Structure formats: structure tokens, C-alpha cells
Structure 1
Amino acid sequence: MSRLPLASRTTDLVGSVIDSSTSLLARQRHDIVRFAMGSPAAEAVPSQLLGHLAATELAAPDAYDYAATEGDPRLREALLAELDGTTDRTTPERLLITAGGMQGLDLAFKLFVDPGDLVVVESPTYTNGSATAMSYQAQLLEVPVDEEGMQVDRLEELVTHAGRAPKAIYAIPTFQNPSGASMSIERRRRLIELTRRWGSLLIDDDPYGRLRFAGTEVPSLHELADGDPLVLSVRTFSKIIGPGLRVGWIDADPALQQLLINAKQAMDTCTNMPLQRLVAAFLEGGHLRDHLTTQQAAYRERKLTMQAALEDWFGALARWTDPEGGFFLWVTFQESVDTEALFEQALADGVAFIPGNAFSPSKFFPNALRLCFASSTPDRIREGVARLRTAYDHLVGAV
């Protein structure tokens, strides 16, 4: 490798512990309860309905053509209709269809971040989001998260201490990955105020907002910003229909549309046309809202099951979050517990999770971990938490 003429940016390509876990688990030959990947369970994906729709939609000759870079008109129209009346309501000139939420994040950082720019991220935060910022050689500023999301008062203090305004602020405001926390409306408003004061781009990443199963809905950053060009919203169907679809969208100021198109054309020309048509048919048939109602109930049951199992097996040994939606619990142990070491033991004992340090570029969370409750049945959740306690006992007993 040392003789290859690599670009300087390759030193900042850190990859994803989360995505790498998929390959790691595929190599295992024993039974593993999978709390690692943030994805819906296989039975939660409406595969039979999608297969039925595909029999018609994918038989059309033009289903395999190139699509317009901004998205197939049929999907754009169906999506606009679906969003009407929601907190993410938008207009055609703001919409760009992407290859999943990750492409939306990549486009945002590509358009706004130069090497050395200061980018704010939550701490902990979504590994792939911070990794994307780093791939454009950003300097990251981590801001703590509590039960009300990003601590916006601390953000202001940390930016003052840094001595310069951030070029971008990356936030997951609703059912945050990995903590499950949701930003309060007061903090959302304050965050937008600071964005305007500093002239920063606010990247509003909200994959889980429609998976609320408790509490009261809070306006999205998109709605509160009311068309402010400094707010760019990233959304995806990966968490609410199926991750393998790789279909999402960006909502951005119309002045950015051509730049976004230009950047996307240099990536992949267009988002996968057959799957755009499949998603369009799913939306046109009115299936999404019924599907979400079913999944919200299932995820509530699974969250409560996981919390009860943690109480049974860990009691005073750990504490965990109590999200009102989404996929995740964030579990914190006493400082002496190394969750990276626990991961190795847990894998041997038949359960997988993501260690806390994966969610902090500065590795601030060595004694925490993320569990996904969405991807397992209640019985498997109980079994997985029991296995986690076995791994914990093996690790602590070995110290």
C-alpha cells in the first residue's frame, strides 16, 4: 500500500463498524441473536406485498430504463402526496430522490464541507454520518446528548471555545441513533437560531420519525425551519419499508437542486429505477400508513420486552434509555466494563451488539453499547439479553 499514490483523504476513510458487523455475523456458524444492525426484522418487511406489486411493476419494459437524476416522476408524485399533511410536507422543487439516506448525507457533506472545516456531530452519533463527514476531511466537534437530544446549550459553549463557527451541524433529532433520544421542541428552535446566527448548514437526518409508538409528535426541524435554505433534510425508506431498497430523498432549498443533480450524476446517474417504481406502487396503493401502524405496535412491544429483560438480567448493573419510537436502546455499564471486550465474549456466547465507542470518533463511550430491539421477536429478545448476561459474567469473572 505504501507505494500506491493514494489521495490524502484516504487516511480519513474510517469505514463503519455497524456495516462491517454484517460480514462478521455472516461468517459465524453458531446461533446468534442479532441486536447489532439497525434494521427491521425480516418479518417486518412487507415482502409478500412487495413481491405481488413487483410482478406487475417490474414487468413493464420501461422499469429497467435510466431514471431522471432527481427521481422518477411517478415516485416523486407519490412521495409528495404521502408527505402532504405531515411534518415533512414539501414541494417538487425541493425534492431529490437518493440511493438511501447515506447518499443524502454524502451529497450534503460533499457540497458544503472543505478539508479542515468544523462539523458538529452529536455524541454519541450515527457512525456512518460522522464517517462521511470525516471522508471529506472535516474536523469534528462532538456535542453531548441527553434524554432531550443534543445539548444545545453545550453546543454554543463548545463552538465558542473552538473559536470558529461550524460549517455544518449534523443532527438526528428524533429517536436518535444510537441513544433513542428525541430533541425537545425548545432545543430544536434554539438549534435553528444558532444555525442562522453562524450561517451553518443544518443537516436534519430523520430516518425514524414516522416510527413513533409513544408520546406526542414534535414538529420536525424541516417544519420548524419553514423553508430556511440553511436546513437540508435527509430521509429514507430503509427503516420504514426495507433497508435493501436503498431509496430515500433529500429536501433542500431549490437553489441547490442543480448542484445536487450534478453531484449525484457524478456518483450513480440515478437511483435504481426498478425499486423506485416498486416504492411508488407501494405508496400509491396507500400501503405505507397501514404498514407503519402495524410496525409501531410491534416495535413498542419489542422495546418493552427488551427493557423488561434488561431489568431482569442486569438490574442495578446498567442503565438504559427509554425511547418513544425508533429502533434502539443505549445501555451504559459501570466504567470498569469494556464493551469492546464484551462484544468478543458476547459473540462467542451467541449475541451481537455494537460497542459504544463505535458511535464516537473520540471513543468517549467505552462502557456503553447499542441494542436494536426492532430486528428480533420478543422471544429472541429475551434469549439475547440472557446470553448478554452470560457474556457479562464470563467477562467480569475473567478480570
Structure 2
Amino acid sequence: MTIPDPVTPVRDQGLPLASRADQLVGSMIDSSTSLLAAQSHDIVRFAMGSPAAEAIPTKVLAAIGAEEVGEASPDAFDYAATEGDLPLRQALLAELEGTSDATTLDRITVTSGGMQGLDLAFKLFVDPGDLVTVEAPTYTNGSATALSYQAELLEVPVDDDGMDVGALERLVDEAGRTPRVIYTVPTFQNPSGATLTLERRQRLLELARRWGSVLLDDDPYGMLRFAGDDVPTLHELADGDPLVFSVRTFSKTVAPGLRVGWVDTDPSLQPLLINAKQAMDTCTNLPAQRLVTGFLAGGHLDEHLRTQRAEYRRRKEAMQDVLASVFGDRARWTDPEGGFFLWLTFDPAVDTEALFPAALEEGVAFIPGNAFSPSRLFPDALRLCFASTTPERTREGLERLRRAVDRVAG
């Protein structure tokens, strides 16, 4: 699976593209949605990092919508305050009280999903040519957003304890310049599932302070821990340090189609965030904000999370059991304590980009490992989402994947 080059055909038409157009690399993950929609045969879908359809609280949201976004609330279809609808910000503040993400109202700016939070961070802090460190592997859309602002990327290895912070320090020393932004997905990392240890989090904050680097804390999965012990968020450990820019979203916990998230930043940044956001979308979709407000204020999130954590644990363990029986002789995989993903590496190696079309023919989809590295460092790995499939479908999908591997491997 590859992303077509959109730039050359446009340049061939003689259109005066900006230099940054060459850095608009797109997302193999998001492109898989259109690709899979075009298939006419049954596909077991391990590709997209989204909750299963049955995990989305559609009945509750529909009931809230009838009340909060119905005829009785005509203002729900108006413009909203750019920083976010006040009732949502207040409900979010109450929801976060007592957690590792507890905050204050003047730190919260509502965004159109977590992706807009990342875009705002890179827009505010990165000039062309600035150094940005990213994890290897990393979330494709995060690195793509940094590239869209013409950053120079430096990839830092990830192991079972998250980003290798010692390697980060060494690589920055070798580069001879400090990063403007350190981008990390610290908890149940996308795509590896690894969680940054407390010791590494503390060291990462020390390095950010020493270098004057913005620490971009992208944590969409932190509420989805189903095993192990909680680790304080970078937001909590920073204790108000303005260098930490935290991005959160309801896409993984409630519903991705709502496109509602938030950033937690030093209050001095909010006027700039408002200015930047007004040049993007004026405000986040107000009907969706009202749905989330009703969901939080109605006390639905805690019970929903309890249910989903138990189900995701069941699905992860089911996937690992099947992997052991189907791929135990030729692959290894991670063991996350939450989130959505397993990271599988073939040994002996299998080219997972060459594997993709064969797997699609067999009726299973995944994301090849090279999608998660701007330098294409993971040709023999792939990401599997365990959250979106039942154990029965997971078995069927992995058996199909094994057939595809056997075909490609000869």
C-alpha cells in the first residue's frame, strides 16, 4: 500500500505550488478508509485505529442529540466561541478533576479533534528547517503535520519502555542543534502500544527545559488503561510548565466522527491559539460539542470507559492468543497495557508493503510498518488494531494474514 504523489501532476499543469506542497505527504492510515470502502469482498479490518462500531454509544448520543441539538436548542447550530463552548469546557473541567489531567478553565481550548491540536502546535512553534524529534515508529499523521510546516525530522527509537530518552539526548548531541519540538505519544503509543516510564518522563522534561524545546504531549489513549499501574501524565509532571503542550481527544473514548478534542496549554498561549484557529475553522462544530457536553454532564463517560477497558483487554488477549498459534514460529509482538494497538515484527523478515496487496486479496487489512517512519525504518513490521474486531473476527483475520504471508514468503 503506497500513497500516490499528488504534487507532480499538479506541477505538470504549470500551477505555482508553494514549496511546502512537497511536504504534504498524506496519511497511509487515513487513505486506507477509502481503499477499504472500494473493496467488494469481506475484509477483516485491523487497519484504522478506531473503536468498533458497537463500542460507540450511539443510543446515548442520539438521546442527548434529541435534547441538546433538537428543536428546543436552535442555538446549537450557531457559531461557537473559538476557544470552545463554555458548557463543554466546564463539563470537561469537572470530568478531569482528580485525574492526572486535572486543569483549569483558562488552559483549555477545544479543537476539531486531536489532529487540529497537533496542527496548532506545529503552526505556532515550527519554522521551516527547524528540528523536530519524533518517535520511531511514530504516529503517521503527527510526523506528516510537522513536515507540512517544513520541519526537519529526527527519529528516536522506541522500545518496550517508550521513547529511548537516552538515545534522544545522544542523537540531538550528534545533530549539533536542539529541537524546537519534541513530539511524543507517551501512553499506549501509536503504533507500538508502549508506555513511557515515569523515569523517562521525568528525564524528557529535564531535557526539554535544558534545550528550551516544546514538549508536544499527544495522549489520546491515556483513559483506556486496562492493565498495570497508572503513570502520571506529562501534563501533571510538568506542573504548569509552559513548554508542555498537551493534546487530547474524544475520538478514541467516545466517537471519532465527532471530531472534538482539546489542548491544555499555558494560558498565555490561548489568544494565539484562538487567532490560529479562527484562520482554520472559526470554531469547532457546535452540535458535536453539545453532544459531548451532554455525554459528560450526564455522567456517561465513566461507565462507558469501564465497559470499553474490559472489552479492549479481552480483545487484546484474544489477538495475542491467536498470534501465538498462527505466527508463533515467525513473528514477535508487543504487549500493551491499554490503548488499541499491537506492533508485530516478522522474523524472518517479510516485506509488509509487498504483503499488503496479498493480504487484501485474502480479506484482511493492516498498516505496513514503513508508514510509521519518515525514513522507512520498519519494512518488516506492521500495526494491528485489536480494538475494532471481535475475537471471532480476529481469528479469521489472522488466519487470512498467515495465508498471505505464506504466499509472499514463497
TM-score, normalization by structure 1: 0.99
Q: CA deviation at 1:352?
A: 0.2
Alignment partner of 1:222 is 2:222: no
Alignment partner of 1:272 is 2:318: no
User: In the alignment, residue 301 of structure 2 is paired with which amino acid?
Assistant: L
CA distance in 1, matches of 2:354, 2:246: 37
Alignment partner of 1:325 is 2:341: no
Q: CA deviation at 1:316?
A: 2.4
Alignment partner of 1:125 is 2:117: no
Q: Write out aligned runs for 1:153-172 (5 A).
A: 153-172=166-185
Give CA-to-partner distance per residue, 1:108-130, whole Å, 9 cap, x none.
00000000000000000000000
Q: CA deviation at 1:336?
A: 3.4
Contact 2:25 2:144 in 1 (8 A): yes
Deviating more after overlay: 12-21 vs 384-393: 384-393
Aligned match of 1:201: 214
CA distance in 2, matches of 1:275, 1:255: 27
Q: 1:22 aligns with which of 7, 22, 33?
A: 33
Aligned match of 2:326: 313
CA distance in 1, matches of 2:397, 2:290: 37
- Give the secondary structure class of the aligned counterpart of 1:316: coil
CA distance in 1, matches of 2:21, 2:44: 34
Give CA-to-partner distance per residue, 1:43-79, whole Å, 9 cap, x none.
0000011111111111111110100000001100000
- Give the secondary structure class of the aligned counterpart of 2:356: helix
Q: CA deviation at 1:396?
A: 1.1
User: In the alignment, residue 252 of structure 1 is paired with which amino acid?
Assistant: T
CA distance in 2, matches of 1:385, 1:300: 18
Aligned match of 1:343: 356
Q: Write out aligned runs for 1:235-384 (5 A).
A: 235-334=248-347, 336-384=349-397
Q: 1:44 aligns with which of 27, 46, 55?
A: 55
CA distance in 1, matches of 2:348, 2:185: 26
CA distance in 2, matches of 1:328, 1:46: 21
Contact 2:330 2:348 in 1 (8 A): no
Aligned match of 1:13: 24
Alignment partner of 1:190 is 2:203: yes
CA distance in 2, matches of 1:285, 1:94: 23
CA distance in 1, matches of 2:45, 2:77: 35
Aligned match of 1:234: 247
Q: CA deviation at 1:335?
A: 5.3
- Give the secondary structure class of the aligned counterpart of 1:294: helix
Q: 1:105 aligns with which of 106, 109, 118?
A: 118
The number of equivalent residue pairs is: 397
User: In the alignment, residue 44 of structure 1 is paired with which amino acid?
Assistant: A
Alignment partner of 1:150 is 2:159: no
Q: % of aligned pairs identical?
A: 72
User: In the alignment, residue 118 of structure 2 is paired with which amino acid?
Assistant: L
CA distance in 1, matches of 2:254, 2:398: 26
CA distance in 1, matches of 2:356, 2:51: 22
User: In the alignment, residue 53 of structure 2 is paired with which amino acid?
Assistant: A
- Give the secondary structure class of the aligned counterpart of 1:96: strand
CA distance in 1, matches of 2:255, 2:290: 14
Q: CA deviation at 1:309?
A: 0.4
CA distance in 1, matches of 2:392, 2:138: 29
Give CA-to-partner distance per residue, 1:358-391, whole Å, 9 cap, x none.
0000000000000000001111011111111011
- Listed as ranges, the gaps of 5+ residues in structure 1 are none
TM-score, normalization by structure 2: 0.96
Alignment partner of 1:82 is 2:100: no
Give CA-to-partner distance per residue, 1:154-204, whole Å, 9 cap, x none.
000000000000000000000000000000000000000000000000000
Deviating more after overlay: 194-203 vs 378-387: 378-387
Give CA-to-partner distance per residue, 1:341-361, whole Å, 9 cap, x none.
111100000000000000000
Give CA-to-partner distance per residue, 1:3-37, whole Å, 9 cap, x none.
00100000000000000000000000000000000
Please provide the CA RMSD for this pair: 0.5
- Listed as ranges, the gaps of 5+ residues in structure 2 are 1-9
Q: 2:45 aligns with which of 23, 26, 34?
A: 34
CA distance in 1, matches of 2:409, 2:20: 40
